[in-house]
């Protein structure tokens, strides 16, 4: 996720302080990985330097002065370009799990145990996400669905690999 583009997009609704941007980000996108304040302010500093935001006002606070940021026309253009650019599909061709299976076979360990352990962990996570989906709002349901679909694909791969483990062992231990 591009934090800078996300913060710019949040600024399109109007100027905000860094604290307000962090709170809006965490509420909409960061339930599982909230932003650190330092990350917000370093990102805003970079966006300011690049002309994508401007300081819309400075107010005294309990500590340092509070800057209110506003998006510039260049920032709006940058967000539009980012939104219109498709994300590169991630084919997961460098899978750690595949590496573990092959190394288990190469070292004469039980690769089936690795697959079974991973299957159990995937199912555990799917139960957690399914419970979260039941109680969440629409945004949480959609993000859980995204994760669940990926986990389901992983489970299909685990089953296929378990079924082909003998042939894979022949190929990698030659």
Question: DSSP letter string over 99-154?
Answer: HHHHHHHHTT--HHHHHHHHHHHHHHHHHHHHHHHHHS-HHHHHHHHHHHHHHHHH
Dump pLDDT digits (tens) for 82-134: 999 988 877 776 688 999 999 999 999 999 999 999 999 999 999 999 999 99
Dump pLDDT digits (tens) for 9-53: 999 999 999 999 999 999 888 777 889 999 999 999 999 999 999
């Amino acid at each position: 996720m591009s934090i800078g583009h996300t913060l710019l997009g949040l600024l399109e609704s109007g100027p905000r302080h860094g604290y307000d941007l962090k709170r809006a980000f965490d509420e909409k996108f960061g339930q599982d990985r909230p932003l650190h304040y330092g990350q917000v302010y370093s990102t805003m500093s970079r966006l300011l330097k690049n002309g994508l935001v401007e300081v819309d006002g400075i107010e005294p606070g309990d500590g340092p002065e509070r800057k209110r940021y506003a998006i510039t026309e260049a920032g709006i253009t940058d967000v539009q370009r980012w939104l219109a650019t498709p994300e590169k599909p991630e084919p997961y061709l460098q899978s750690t799990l595949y590496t573990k299976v092959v190394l288990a076979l190469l070292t004469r360990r039980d690769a089936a145990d690795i697959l079974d352990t991973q299957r159990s962990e995937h199912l555990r996570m799917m139960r957690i996400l399914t419970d979260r989906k039941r109680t969440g709002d629409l945004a949480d349901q959609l993000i859980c669905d995204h994760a669940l679909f990926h986990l389901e694909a992983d489970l299909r791969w685990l089953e296929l690999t378990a079924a082909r483990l003998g042939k894979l062992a022949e190929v990698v231990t030659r």
